[in-house]
A and B are shown apart, each in its own frame.
Chain A
Amino acid sequence: MNTVVILLSAFVISVFGLFVFIWTQRRGLLDPSPRAAEVIFAPGEIGVVEDPAGTRETVAKLQAANPSIIGSGHAEELAERARADASTAPLVFFFLCCAFAWLLVASAAGLVASIKLHEPDWLIGQAWLTFGRIRTIHLNAVAYGWAPMAGLGVALFVIPRLLKTPLVGARYAFLGAALWNAALIAGLGAIAVGLGDGLEWLEIPWQVDILFVAGGALVGVPLVLTLLQRKVDHLYVSVWYMGCALFWFPVLFLVANIPGLHRGVQEAAMNWWFAHNVLGLFYTPLALASVYYFLPKIIGRPVQSYNLSLLGFWGLAFFYGQVGGHHLVGGPVPGWMITLSIVQSMMMIIPVVAFTVNMHGTLEGRLSALRYSPTLRFIGFGGLMYTVSSIQGAVEALRTLNVVVHFTHHTVGHAHLGMYGFVTMVFFGAIYFVVPRVSGREWPSPLLIGAHFWLAAIGITIYFISLSYGGWLQGVAMLDASRPFMESVTLMLPYLKARSIGGALMVLGHLVFVLHFVLLLTTKPSGRNQPTLLQAI
Chain B
Amino acid sequence: MHDETRLLAGGMVMLAIATGALVVVPYMTVRDVPPIEGLKPYTNEQLRGRRQYIANGCVYCHSQQPRSRNFAPDFERGWGRASVAGDYAYDTPHLLGTMRTGPDLLNIGARQPSEQWHLGHLYQPRAYVPGSVMPGYPYLFELKDKADTGDVEVHLPPGFAPAGKRVIALREARDLVAYLKALDRTYPVIPAPKAVRTVRTPEDPS
Contact = CB atoms under 8 A, between A and B. Distances in A.
B141 to A, nearest CB: 11
Given A130-B137, A244-B11, A247-B8, A481 B29 contact: no
Interface string A449-483: 00000000000000000000000000000111100
A318 B26 contact: no
- A251, A269, A341, A486 — which one has the most chain B CB atoms within 10 A of its CB? A269
Q: How large is the interface on B (under 10, 10 to 19, 20 to 34, 35 or more residues)?
A: 35 or more
A264 B11 contact: no
B31 A132 contact: no
Closest 9 CB pairs of A and B: A132-B57, A321-B18, A194-B55, A407-B100, A198-B54, A481-B73, A244-B11, A481-B76, A273-B22
A124 B54 contact: no
B131 A490 contact: yes
A403 interface: yes
A235 interface: yes
A136 B164 CA distance: 36
B33 A265 contact: yes
B63 A265 contact: no
- The main secondary structure of chain A at its interface with chain B is helix
B117 to A, nearest CB: 16
B96 to A, nearest CB: 5
Given A330-B68, A332-B83, A269 B26 contact: yes
B21 A331 contact: no
A403 B15 contact: no
Contacts of B68: 330
Contact of B14 (A200, A252, A273, A318): A318
B136 A317 contact: no
Given A125-B139, A267-B94, A322-B18, A330 B133 contact: no
A235 B100 CA distance: 46
Contacts of B14: 314, 317-318, 321
Contacts of A327: 98
Contacts, number: 237
Contacts of A277: 15, 18
A267 B93 contact: yes
Given A117-B101, A267-B94, A268-B94, A479 B73 contact: yes
Contact of A263 (B6, B31, B57, B71): B31
A489 B132 contact: yes
A6 B134 CA distance: 46
B46 to A, nearest CB: 15
B33 A124 contact: no
A300 interface: no
A272 B19 CA distance: 11
A333 interface: yes
Contacts of B25: 337
A252 B12 CA distance: 11
Contact of A196 (B29, B55, B63, B98): B55
Contacts of B83: 331-332
Contact of A243 (B7, B27, B129): B7
Interface of A: 14, 21, 25, 28-30, 116-118, 120-121, 124-127, 130-133, 135-136, 194-200, 227, 235, 240, 243-244, 247-248, 251-252, 255, 262-273, 277, 281, 314, 317-318, 320-322, 324-325, 327-328, 330-334, 337, 340-341, 403, 406-409, 411-412, 478-481, 485-486, 488-490, 492-493
Interface in B70-107: 71-73, 76-77, 82-85, 87-89, 91-103
A409 B133 CA distance: 14
Interface string B1-18: 101101110111011011
Contacts of B96: 265, 268, 328, 331-332
A121 B136 contact: yes
Given A120-B134, A198-B59, A264-B94, 11 more contacts: A29-B6, A120-B135, A124-B139, A247-B11, A265-B26, A267-B93, A270-B22, A314-B10, A331-B67, A337-B26, A340-B21
Contacts of A480: 73
- B19, B21, B67, B68 — which one has the most chain A CB atoms within 10 A of its CB? B21
A120 B125 CA distance: 10
Nearest to A273: B22
Contacts of B42: none
26 contacts: A120-B132, A120-B134, A120-B136, A121-B136, A126-B139, A132-B57, A132-B61, A136-B57, A197-B54, A197-B93, A235-B7, A244-B11, A252-B15, A255-B19, A263-B31, A264-B88, A265-B85, A272-B22, A317-B11, A321-B15, A324-B22, A331-B67, A334-B29, A337-B22, A337-B25, A489-B132
Contact of B30 (A131, A264, A281): A264
- B10, B14, B54 — which one has the most chain A CB atoms within 10 A of its CB? B14
B23 interface: yes
B94 A265 contact: yes
